Amino acid sequence: MNSPTATPEWEYAPAPERFDPGIKDRYRLFIGGRFVASRGRKTFETINPATEAVLSRCDEANSEDVDAAVAAARAAFRKWSRTKPKERAKYLYRIARRIQERSRELAVLETMDGGKPIRESRDVDIPLVAQHFFHHAGWCDKLQYAFPGATDPRPIGVCAQVIPWNFPLLMLAWKIAPALACGNTVVLKPAETTPLTALRFAEICEECELPAGVVNILTGAGETGRHLVEHPDVDKVAFTGSTAVGKRIAASSAGTGKRLTLELGGKSPNIIFADASIDQAIEGIVQGIWFNQGHVCCAGSRLFVQESVLSEVIAKLERRLRTLRVGDPLDKNTDVGAINSGPQLATIQQYLTEGTAEGATMHQPSTQSLPDKGFWCQPCFLSDVQPNHVIAREEIFGPVLAVMSFRTPEEAISRANDTRFGLAAGVWTDKGSKIFEVASRLQAGIVWLNTYNRFDATSPFGGVKESGFGREGGLHGLRGYLSL
Ligand code: NAP
Ligand code: MG
């Protein structure tokens, strides 16, 4: 699969073949600038989902560890919030450069811990991580100009940040870079299945001599995240994850005075009009749903095809699916890697069973064999899907596409908007007027036109409806970390 999602602006280290990223047997929590053992002495394993091999053990932070990390962030805030903006910028530039220098090791680590193809970690995730730090380094001393009329934009304070496993280091960058640029301090919890790049990032903070306590990393499970977001001395909560957990956090934050941004789930429509360049649209569909095994919040998981080209699109999709290579994520020719965890694979399989039981037709044309070990799902799509089918309504978060058809633009718009989510949407057509008309009526935070899954640090990202609120990236993203 081509990976046109990021536009690398510099050259990277050569393709990581069998590169040893130097994983330690045991990782501790990063609190107040030091790696310390959890007070509860509990640990958990992180595995490679492509082999099921244990990669390392990490400490599981309990409520006392959360107290210590929040206290460290509070103490550091006094100084960091008053550090001259041009000095803060130097730290962010230093971190960005170090990420570039260590990009090979970070890409391998990301792929081993989470299962995504190395080509994606190397060409998309890690370059975008560096770009986020470079971009936000540039904002540090321009905040007054960013918001005309706001004479003294101030940081909010201590930020509790909780992230998911699908883009581990990239989600960290989306959270930490703007927070630090605006003068806040952070306590971040990575997902339980993908803690390793966040811990490596803690080492990078040490190397860059970031003042102690400005960034704290707590590994642990959902309970660690709950303690963190419910901590009374936290000023802002930034969460990316499922809508179910997001709703719980919104309820527990209500009335506390904490600022809150939520980036949640999606069931995004990708609409193909008959006048579109069909071959180009096929690549957009592939990119929209099979990128990162479909573990993408904005995945184009509901495909709406204009009726007159439906059979052509289905035939071409089948052909294209046969060419996707599924397997070893560390092989640079792999297109689709491993499913992130056993439970996630079970969830996907359950949806596939439900989809066919409801009457949808399964298309899984590849005859490739899959590795014996690890968690794997052949990329597939289902046709004959009805709008009320479970697979058309719920987020599957796997390499599964639901294909539906429409006759008129009006029908496409109303069916696309018939969802509780509103994260992203795609529109494929040759007609400029149709692009603007349809895009302006879609209920989605992001609308891609004749492209899909493009990300850039300068562009705001975020949802409407049950996909959350607040924006990350660009000028809009700074608002979530400032008192204006
Ligand atoms: P999740 O279960 O909601 O977990 C996200 C994070 O929250 C993890 O670090 C998790 O820890 C933690 N957590 C779990 N329960 C918590 C609680 N009660 N309080 C605080 N934190 C808690 O979601 P996921 O399955 O990891 O990720 C997939 C979801 O993320 C999908 O729905 C996807 O659409 C969404 N997502 C959204 C965006 C976006 O920008 N809109 C981006 C990426 C992903 P554990 O890892 O230990 O469970
Ligand atoms: Mg793992």
Task: Give me ligand 2 centre to Cα 136, in Å.
Answer: 29
* Confidence check: pLDDT of 16 > 90: no
Owning domain of residue 52 = 8-264+464-483
* Distance set, CA 383 to CA 324, 358, 362, 460 (Å): 19, 11, 7, 33
**What is the per-residue pLDDT for 10?**
42
Does 454 map to a domain? no
Mean pLDDT of 34-38: 98
Residue to probe by mutation, ligand 1, list 240, 394, 420, most atoms within 8 Å of CB: 240
- Nearest ligand to the C-alpha atom of residue 45: 2
Q: Rounded to whole angstroms, how far apart are CA atoms 344 and 27?
A: 25
Mean pLDDT of 11-26: 72
How would residue 218 be classed by pLDDT, with cut points 50, 70 and 90?
very high
**What is the per-residue pLDDT for 271?**
98
* Confidence check: pLDDT of 3 > 90: no
* Confidence check: pLDDT of 8 > 50: no
Same domain? For 189 and 325 the reply is no
Specify the number of domains making up the chain.
Answer: 2
Task: Give me ligand 2 centre to Cα 342, in Å.
Answer: 11
pTM: 0.96
Spell out where 274-423 has E strands: 302-306, 361-363, 380-383, 400-406
Same domain? For 75 and 148 the reply is yes
Counting residues of the chain whose pLDDT is more than 70, the rounded percentage is 96
Is position 312 annotated as part of the catalytic site? no
**What is the per-residue pLDDT for 344?**
98
Same domain? For 209 and 170 the reply is yes
Does 52 map to a domain? yes
**What is the per-residue pLDDT for 367?**
86
* Confidence check: pLDDT of 474 > 60: yes
**What is the per-residue pLDDT for 17?**
53
* Confidence check: pLDDT of 187 > 60: yes
Is position 87 annotated as part of the catalytic site? no
What digits encode the pLDDT tens for the residues 150-179? 878 999 999 999 999 999 999 999 999 999
Q: Rounded to whole angstroms, how far apart are CA atoms 442 and 270?
A: 11
Same domain? For 194 and 245 the reply is yes
How would residue 26 be classed by pLDDT, with cut points 50, 70 and 90?
very high
Task: Give me ligand 2 centre to Cα 110, in Å.
Answer: 9
- Nearest ligand to the C-alpha atom of residue 252: 1
Does 192 map to a domain? yes
Same domain? For 243 and 297 the reply is no
**Lowest mean per-residue pLDDT among 275-284, 363-372, 418-427:** 363-372
* Confidence check: pLDDT of 88 > 60: yes
Burial class (CB in 10 A: 0-12, 13-18, 19+), 165: buried
Atom of ligand 1 nearest to the CA of 245: 3
Does 457 map to a domain? no
